[in-house]
Structure 1
Amino acid sequence: MTIRGLIARFTQQEDLNFLLTNRVPRAALTRFMGWFSKIENPLVRDASIACWRLFSDLDLSEAKKTEFKSLHDCFTRELRPGLRPVDPDPAIVVSPSDGIIGAHGRIADTELFQIKGAPYSLLDLLGDPVLVDQHRNGRFLTLRLTSSMYHRFHAPYDATIKRVTFIHGDVWNVNPIALKRVERLFCKNERAVLRTRLSTGEALTLVPVAAILVASIRLHFLDVTLNAQSRGPVDFACFARVKKGDELGWFEHGSTIIVLAPESFEFADGVVEGARIRAGEPLLRKPQV
């Protein structure tokens, strides 16, 4: 096959992927999945997990449990103790989740990228000019969770979570194909903005972004699950103290976490686009005092 033919074939595959995962009634399909995944029927559960295995690299060997009540129970599974050790170096901010490292780098004033050539603004993402100023010219990093990954996320450092803002939105797929085709995708999807202050004083913000078949973000420290059915308050004031590695919550499928850090922080060794990272592994390095 010629190079032109290979390109055409690849483009057709992308078109099909985008059509099947985005040009569908996304909100209705997501609500259905939320209901369906919680059915505690052994036949439904087993058939669903078998189908999931067929179309992904799902590996349940690390799971704490060997039996699940439902597909949802499997999605949000805990791991056996000790499988995600947290880097103890006080200069290291760790990854809050398992994921594939996506776009990352320096924020150009208030502009960052969802993928090369596809910019968006901090204000569109966060909706708060004060928070935007805190991260102006800072660092950003995107972590994409696939459907088969461990879906719980953790505190990247000893910190205090002072406020959570839930922003209603769409449920576009967040895979690279959609990121290339949907402008400002992260700013359109449902998301939570977790404002944290590290124990050493720096502001660090986590933005879990929901997606199709997900659109539910569980936050343990607030004891809430945020989704399209959530009804106020949009802002949750809190004062939750967390330690590096503490579990913060989970997605009900796979999605994305955007990490925003101060300008003085540097990326840890091995942080490159396309690399896989696990919760607790080095993500950012704080400046030496």
Structure 2
Amino acid sequence: MTVKGLISAFTQQEDLNFLLTNRIPRAAVTRFMGWFSKIENPFVRDASIACWRLFSDLDLSEAKKTEFKSLHDCFTRELRPGLRPADPDPGVVASPSDGIIGAFGRIEDTKLFQIKGAPYSLLDLLGDPALVERHRNGRYLTLRLTSSMYHRFHAPYDATIERVRFIHGDVWNVNPIALKRVERLFCRNERAVLETRLASGEALTLVPVAAILVASIRLHFLDVTLNAQSRGPVDFPCAASMRKGDELGWFEHGSTIIVLAPEHFEFADNVADGARVRAGEALLRKPKG
């Protein structure tokens, strides 16, 4: 077995994985990673990326650049133009990011799930009773980004972003092992609630959730970095128009995006538990007629 295979087998042991990625000083490690990843030194950069490759399926063949200034520069890499086109169907809600589909389905009044048998509430996630009412009995879908994936996220539909709320919290790992063991995990972690309104007046909400080693969430239209130094909840009123496929920002490591959509939207045929999707591919569809 290769070194990479041995490492993979070792870390797939659930108890060990949970211990190594959660039972550590999560906030301190995340702050350190935020500093370390920005070191612009060729030796540090090359050693870090080599180590990253050992622990993941990192593939840089789609990257716009072939040389990176730092580990952070590699994490937040752009792709070559045209590699993530948004589905042109005006009835389609596109995936905001590359990711692995986790829990999805109908919101049961105001209850949704991080995995089967592990519920959490819209109010705990969003922190706003008025927004909860807009998504009562709606649809939800969870996208998990692994560390090696493309970390930028995009507008899933033509809409107006009316407000961003940053909610300060913990930085638990968001992998399936942690989701089985930590109740209401998404409601504990730092997250940004992006409230958007469709032309029809309906709500389409994105919730990027930070995780361990995620030093920040960056949103272009606010020109602000949201991280542990942001005291929350912090509200940022805005009126940013977005077109489907527009780049909204990025994570500085793998994490999760929760998509909340209107009740009458239907899931696309490719939506299945554990399926991999790319930014721009169909997630939901407005019914015709």
Structure 1 position 270, deviation (Å): 1.1
Instruction: Give the 5 Å matches for 1:19-98.
Output: 19-98=19-98
Instruction: Give the partner amino acid of 2:197.
Output: R
Distance (whole Å) between structure 2 residues aligned to residue 284 and residue 73 of structure 1: 32
Distance (whole Å) between structure 1 residues aligned to residue 257 and residue 200 of structure 2: 22
Instruction: Give the 5 Å matches for 1:1-289.
Output: 13-231=13-231, 234-289=234-289
User: Over aligned residues, Cα RMSD in angstroms?
Assistant: 1.5
Q: Are the equivalent residues in 1 in contact too, given 2:152–2:247 (CA < 8 A)?
A: yes
Instruction: Give the partner amino acid of 1:70.
Output: S
| 1:113 counterpart SS class | strand
Percent identical pairs in the alignment equals 88
Distance (whole Å) between structure 1 residues aligned to residue 237 and residue 182 of structure 2: 32
Q: Are the equivalent residues in 2 in contact too, given 1:190–1:215 (CA < 8 A)?
A: no
Instruction: Give the partner amino acid of 1:130.
Output: A
Structure 2 vs 1, CA of residues 154 and 23 (structure 1 numbering), >3 Å: closer, same or farther? Answer: same
Q: Are the equivalent residues in 2 in contact too, given 1:171–1:215 (CA < 8 A)?
A: no
| 1:147 counterpart SS class | coil
Deviations 1:147-185 (A, max 9, x none): 000000000001100000000000000000000000000
Distance (whole Å) between structure 1 residues aligned to residue 282 and residue 201 of structure 2: 19
Structure 1 position 59, deviation (Å): 0.1
Distance (whole Å) between structure 2 residues aligned to residue 205 and residue 143 of structure 1: 14
Matched residue, 1:6: none
Task: Count residues with an aligned counterpart.
Answer: 281
| 1:153 counterpart SS class | strand
Instruction: Give the partner amino acid of 1:181.
Output: R
Q: Are the equivalent residues in 1 in contact too, given 2:169–2:191 (CA < 8 A)?
A: yes
Instruction: Give the partner amino acid of 1:77.
Output: R
Deviations 1:111-167 (A, max 9, x none): 000001100000000010000000000000000000000000000001100000000
Deviations 1:192-223 (A, max 9, x none): 00000123332100000000000410000000
For structure 1, the 5+ residue unaligned runs are 1-8
Distance (whole Å) between structure 1 residues aligned to residue 21 and residue 226 of structure 2: 22
Structure 2 vs 1, CA of residues 133 and 21 (structure 1 numbering), >3 Å: closer, same or farther? Answer: same
**TM-score of the two chains, using structure 2 as the length reference:** 0.95
Distance (whole Å) between structure 2 residues aligned to residue 281 and residue 231 of structure 1: 35
Distance (whole Å) between structure 1 residues aligned to residue 144 and residue 96 of structure 2: 11
Deviations 1:221-277 (A, max 9, x none): 000110001246700000000100000000000000000001100000110010000
**TM-score of the two chains, using structure 1 as the length reference:** 0.95
Structure 2 vs 1, CA of residues 24 and 233 (structure 1 numbering), >3 Å: closer, same or farther? Answer: closer
